[in-house]
Structure 1
Amino acid sequence: MLRSLKELKVQLIHQPDEDGLMIADHLERIGCTCELTWPLPEHVSKSADVVLLSIEISHRTNILKLLSSIKNYSSTVIIITSYENSETLQLILDCNAFAVIGKPISAFGFLANLTVARNVWLDREKLKDKFYKLEKEFFASVRVSKAKEILMSQTGINESEAYKKIRKQAMSKRITTVDIASAIINAHELLSPNDSLEKKSD
């Protein structure tokens, strides 16, 4: 983990004052690539792995607008603040920050905050990937089950035979069972309204 910190691209959004320059220097000594940005930009750098952002309550609207430019939380956000009142804490929560660094800035604890924040972010990304995979598998299962029900109701075959038909078609066309299931469902939905109209006319 510590070795991977040296490859991080960090966007430091902070005034180029004593604290800002100290943080930039510390990041460079760790081995990170640091981009010091000020004033508050409209967008976060697309290449930023980590965004270190100094916040002020008076800039709340612009801060939240800035962080909304991070697509799918692709950067680890760490907040820098000199206040700890209720408004500031709410803003930190709204920023979806992974860590908070208080002022005055101290070298002690800085590396720990960066390491823990990045590690939590990486763990969340793994969970997100796992969730998307499970969601995709669930969607596939639902589609195939629905397609089997359609085949069973229309042809009188059992569930096992319905699945075999779907699988056989998928193999012959070299596509997934979900694609075949979707085709069956779409065809059924397309024909269903016509069936209803015919029944009404009878």
Structure 2
Amino acid sequence: MAHFRLRDLRSLRVAVVHPPDAECQTILEQLGRIGCQTHLVWPPERGLLPNVDIVFAGLFFDSHEQVRAMMRKVEKPAPALICVVDYENPAMLELVVDLGAVAVTSKPVRSFGIMTNMVVARANQQRQDALRARTAKLEKKLTGQKQIATAKSILMKVQGISEDEAFETLRKQAMSKRCSIEDMAEAIIKANDLLSSGKGTV
């Protein structure tokens, strides 16, 4: 997993989704001092520029759905979301969690704490991305193992061979076709399904 380093702060692309008021200006000025590439987005319907790393989003009850819609449109991997809130009531906290924020800063916004929130948000987002990638890899591996088991079963039934012989046949066919065993298994399953649909189950 990639580790976030403080010197990487200057390379971050940061969007500030907030009405252009004093709170917004405080955030923009601090980001400028840090050296980040920043742009202001308001209203949220304008959408984010491509390849944004972090989003500071003002969370208001009358515009949170627009923020939600904006984040849904972002290509994966999504940027780290830092919500800027002025209330800590249950409804607001529920919105923060529901939007998938990885950090929160409260109003009145102060320069102190913005950098800390960025570091925490970026690190948490990278951790989440790594976990999602690992989960996807494991799911793909599990699917492949299931396909191999199904393909072996087909070969055992059609050719009257043992499980070990079926796997060896599968492996040799994959080598001759210069593809993975998983891809070969998928091809055998599809071929069997095609034959089954026309002639009954093999």
Distance 2:184 2:60 in 1: 55
TM-score by length of 2: 0.91
- Structure 2 match to 1:82: 86
Distance 1:90 1:42 in 2: 25
Change over 3 Å in CA distance of 1:179–1:40 after alignment to 2: closer
Percent identity of the aligned residues? Answer: 35
The CA deviation at 1:45 is 2.0
Distance 2:77 2:106 in 1: 23
Report if aligned partners of 1:8, 1:50 keep a CA contact under 8 Å in 2.
yes
- Let me know the Cα RMSD of the aligned residues: 1.8
The number of aligned residues is 198
Distance 1:82 1:73 in 2: 28
- Structure 1 match to 2:40: 36
Match of 1:123, as an amino acid? R
Change over 3 Å in CA distance of 1:103–1:151 after alignment to 2: same
Q: 1:110 aligns with which of 106, 114, 118?
A: 114
Written as runs of structure 1 = structure 2, the 5 A alignment for 1:84-99 is 84-99=88-103
TM-score by length of 1: 0.91
- Structure 2 match to 1:200: none
Larger radius of gyration: 1
The CA deviation at 1:139 is 1.1
Distance 1:19 1:26 in 2: 11
Match of 1:118, as an amino acid? R
Q: Is 1:71 matched with 2:75? A: yes
Match of 2:175, as an amino acid? M
Structure with more relative contact order (C-alpha pairs < 8 Å, separation 6 or more)? 2
Distance 2:128 2:65 in 1: 26
Written as runs of structure 1 = structure 2, the 5 A alignment for 1:105-184 is 105-184=109-188
Which stretches in structure 1 are left out of the alignment for 5+ residues?
A: 198-202
Match of 2:24, as an amino acid? G
Say which SS state the counterpart of residue 51 (structure 1) adopts.
strand
Distance 1:112 1:36 in 2: 20
Which stretches in structure 2 are left out of the alignment for 5+ residues?
A: none
The CA deviation at 1:120 is 0.6
Distance 2:111 2:103 in 1: 15
Please identify, of 80-89 and 41-50, the stretch whose mean Cα deviation from structure 2 is larger.
Answer: 41-50
